Amino acid sequence: MSYATYGGIGIGTKLALARVARFDRAYQRDQVREGASEIGMAFDAMEAAAERLESLANSTIAPASEILLAQSLMARDPAFRDAVAKEIDAGVEAGAAIVKSADGFASQLRDLGGYFAERSSDVLDVAHLALRLLQGVEPGVLPVRELPYVLVAKTLSPADTVNLDSTQVAALVTEQGGRTSHTSVIARSLGIPAVVGCAEARLLEDGEMVLVDPVAGEVVRQPDEYELIRRNAANRLRQKRKRVREDLVSSGRVELLVNAGAFDELAVIAAAESSGIGLLRTELIFMDRLEAPSVEEQIAVYAEVFAAFSGRKVVVRTLDSGADKPLAFLRRDKEPNPALGIRGLRTSSFAPKILEDQLQALSAASQNARCEVWVMAPMVATPREAREFVSHYHKYPVDKVGVMVEIPALALAAKRVIDEVDFASVGTNDLAQYAFAADREVSEFAELLDPWQPELLKLLGMVGEAGKAAGKPVGVCGEAASDPGLAVILAGLGATSLSMSSSALPEVREVLSSVKIRDARRAAKVAVSSASASEAKQAALKSLGWTE
């Protein structure tokens, strides 16, 4: 095979040149064991998976240890085991029951979107580990070579990657995965460059030479001498970037915050080096219930979060139900298009007590809190709706009240909206979905939903400009904030804070600490004036001097 370049999502900044070592997780089906019930075999395998994950967690450090421990808890989840038992009662054999049940839970998590969708792979990882143990097949052993290699696989679970040796593995390339997948998280923590979500990785053959360029998000197959020289020169240019005076972080122009939604991971999120929470998703308090939580229940949960972030800021999003996040106690007649129906703030139009109780609980919990409590409403469409939401806080005061900008109409009315609120936060995932009329859950629309799309950046720029003119904060809490290169562009468009997963913080901080605001604004101007997402990214990175 001659020279070829394959694209994906890059993680890290180091260039890697080495030969491919393929890692395939194939296994053979064992004979079903005699003398044990299907339920007994299934539960034994799930417990064995839990113990294996727990042992691996105890043998490593964060963030891998937290990921593995969370997966071990999933393997012991009573709801998971009940689902497996029901499948077996219906005549499904043990292994298939585990996988089918996991598929069901993963589908539910994907339907919830955002953070919950990211966790769907955890359930599947647990199920596949349990299945291998049920069949008497040990998890795959990583390749051993005399020289460092590029590990290539369809996908890698935390159990596969936890013991990666950075002196042996020069880079990772996977067919599946995204910027916040566990492969990406662990690669960042180990300092191993990676390109994930590279579909053509399946074409790479064991032993052939490849060049992994994570900044470009590319894998070069059998690079020639010219390509090596060119990419090495570009990489040396990147390595020369150092912390500069008045950079975006140390100057205080951009706050780095974390997204939070799973309250059992609060300690891990709080330990991250951040200015606080930029998006506290409150849906989890309301999920899987036949009636809404009481004011007292909510106060207890919010107070715990506020205490964990003492001295910092917590931005709370009020309940964002509806569409892909239905609640049993808020059921309505089936809507023809739920994504365009009753969701977010609109829920209060027919169930006002839900919002009133939540605002009351947030206000009460904030009274003795030693953190700043900011509250924002999702799915606000007009300045009038923003004004009505703010009016609630005469009765239930908190430090600051704002709105999420997820609907294009609100971005277009940014100047009037900013006059009504204390701050705004852009949810890039939904804003892109509505701007391009493309369902964010449909993979065929991935190109349209690329956050580098110039039209989306223009909408972000409108909000940023309005915030700057009014002297009010504008945050970004969508997936776009976790892309280090795009983070620079968002700052250049006027974002004063970026909120992301805790695993993305170190790399984003490193990049923002090397850029001045004037350079970010120049790169943003170039990106917005581009003709496509790919051109916007290439032009912006070139403007910053990161590529030739």
Asked if the 38-134 domain carries CATH number 1.10.274.10, the reply is: yes
Q: Cα-flanking dihedrals φ and ψ of residue 243, to 5°?
A: -60, 130
- Does residue 365 register a pLDDT over 70? yes
Q: What is the pLDDT of residue 272?
A: 84
Domain 255-543 in this protein, CATH class: alpha beta
Sequence ranges of the chain with CATH classification 3.50.30.10: 4-25+140-239
The C-alpha angle 5, 170, 156, rounded to 5 degrees, equals 80
Cβ burial, residue 126 (10 Å; 0-12/13-18/19+): buried
Sequence ranges of the chain with CATH classification 3.20.20.60: 255-543
Higher pLDDT, 469 or 292: 469
CA atoms of 384 and 420, how far apart (whole Å): 9
Q: What is the pLDDT of residue 228?
A: 78
Three-class secondary structure of residue 20 per DSSP: strand
pLDDT > 90: percent of the chain: 45
pLDDT (mean) for 310-339? 76
CA atoms of 341 and 323, how far apart (whole Å): 7
Cβ burial, residue 55 (10 Å; 0-12/13-18/19+): exposed
Sequence ranges of the chain with CATH classification 1.10.274.10: 38-134
Q: What is the pLDDT of residue 332?
A: 62
Question: Which residue in the list 128, 371, 392, 477 is annotated as catalytic?
Answer: 477
Cα dist. 329→13, 287, 294, 351 in Å? 47, 10, 13, 10
Q: Is the pTM of this model over 0.85?
A: no
pLDDT (mean) for 111-139? 76
CA atoms of 122 and 167, how far apart (whole Å): 27
pLDDT (mean) for 453-482? 95
Q: Cα-flanking dihedrals φ and ψ of residue 453, to 5°?
A: -55, 125
- Does residue 168 register a pLDDT over 60? yes
Helix boundaries (H) for 367-448 = 383-391, 408-412, 414-420, 428-435
Answer yes or no: 477 catalytic. yes
* Residues sharing a CB contact under 8 Å with residue 545, sequence separation 6 or more, in sequence order: 237, 241
Q: What is the pLDDT of residue 276?
A: 96
pLDDT digits (tens, 9 = 90+) for 392-416: 888 999 999 999 999 999 999 999 9
Task: For domain 4-25+140-239, give the CATH number.
Answer: 3.50.30.10
Question: Which residue in the list 182, 198, 371, 392 is annotated as catalytic?
Answer: 182
Sequential DSSP letters for 512-526: HTT-BHHHHHHHHHH
Pairing, β 9-11 against β 194-196? antiparallel
- Does residue 417 register a pLDDT over 80? yes
Answer yes or no: 182 catalytic. yes
pLDDT digits (tens, 9 = 90+) for 46-82: 999 899 888 887 777 666 777 788 888 889 989 899 9
pLDDT > 70: percent of the chain: 87
- Does residue 32 register a pLDDT over 50? no
Q: Is 177 left (phi over 0), alpha (psi -120 to 50) or beta?
A: left
Q: What is the pLDDT of residue 249?
A: 81
